[in-house]
């Protein structure tokens, strides 16, 4: 028997009550309808982690409507953060391309060659996706070699970070300190893009990811 067997919707609503998440008895059908059409149990119930339990292990004065409001707030927050992350990703690419364009020691191809040596599997995966892309087939068919300016159009944020790691190791600049923050931004971006719960365990410091270092105007990083 499975440790946690699948429950039907009526049982899921009862499970909420068992955990101390309250709603009027005559609203049970509305709760079930919400779980069927607006969200799903595992996600909506996860927001309970922001509230304390009593000595019996039940949540104190927690209503289902409160979880719904937090979910709406979480959705809005993720939308705002995702837009911000896209802007940051664009600025990161723009800044990197500006530095490469102004750097006479970098021809725009050697950086990609080095990336392919360090990450051969990832490079092959990117090229295979590029080759199969209907939207980018014209771009692919016209090239025998991949330059950094083409690579920028076919990579994800994680690969951009890897490219930046290689570049700033070879050519350290004041901007390197800002690059150190990209991995934190990527985590936020992925959480938002994949519609994961963001507002969870807000008051539990042990579950928080490490805070990124703050960067000064000079580009040097200092710890919070």
pLDDT, tens digit, 9 for 90 and up, residues 178-205: 777 888 899 999 999 999 998 988 887 7
pTM: 0.78
Summarised one tens digit per residue, pLDDT across range 122-157 is 999 988 887 777 666 666 566 678 889 988 888 989
How far apart CA 139 and CA 185 sit, in angstroms, is 29
Is the Cα dihedral 151, 153, 156, 162 positive or negative? positive
Average pLDDT over residues 154-178: 87
* pLDDT at site 172: 87
Q: What is the mean pLDDT of residues 68-96?
A: 94
Amino acid 219: pLDDT: 40
pLDDT at 163 over 80: yes
**Cβ(99)–Cβ(175) below 8 Å:** yes
Predicted confidence band at 18 (pLDDT cuts at 50, 70, 90)? very high
Residue 218 — very low, low, confident or very high, per pLDDT cuts 50/70/90? very low
| Residue 58 CB contacts under 8 Å (≥ 6 apart), including other chains | 19, 20
* DSSP code per residue over 91-106: HHHHHHHHHHHH-TT-
User: What does the CA dihedral 59, 61, 62, 66 come to, rounded to 10 degrees?
Assistant: -160
């Amino acid at each position: 028997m499975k440790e946690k067997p699948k429950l039907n919707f009526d049982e899921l609503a009862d499970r909420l009550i068992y955990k101390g998440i309250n709603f009027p008895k005559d609203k049970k059908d509305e709760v079930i309808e919400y779980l069927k059409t607006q969200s799903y149990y595992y996600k909506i119930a996860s927001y309970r982690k922001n509230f304390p339990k009593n000595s019996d292990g039940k949540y104190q004065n927690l209503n289902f409507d409160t979880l719904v409001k937090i979910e709406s707030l979480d959705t809005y927050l993720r939308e705002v953060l995702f837009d911000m992350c896209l802007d940051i990703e664009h600025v990161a690419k723009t800044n990197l391309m500006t530095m490469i364009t102004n750097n006479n020691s970098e021809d725009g191809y050697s950086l990609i060659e080095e990336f392919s040596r360090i990450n051969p599997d990832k490079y092959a995966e990117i090229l295979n996706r590029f080759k199969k892309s209907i939207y980018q087939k014209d771009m692919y068919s016209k090239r025998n070699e991949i330059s950094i300016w083409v690579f920028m159009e076919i990579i994800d944020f994680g690969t951009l970070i890897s490219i930046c790691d290689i570049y700033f190791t070879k050519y350290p600049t004041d901007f390197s300190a800002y690059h150190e923050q990209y991995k934190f931004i990527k985590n936020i971006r992925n959480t938002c893009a994949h519609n994961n719960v963001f507002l969870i365990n807000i008051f539990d410091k042990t579950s928080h990811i490490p805070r990124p270092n703050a960067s000064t105007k000079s580009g040097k990083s200092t710890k919070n």
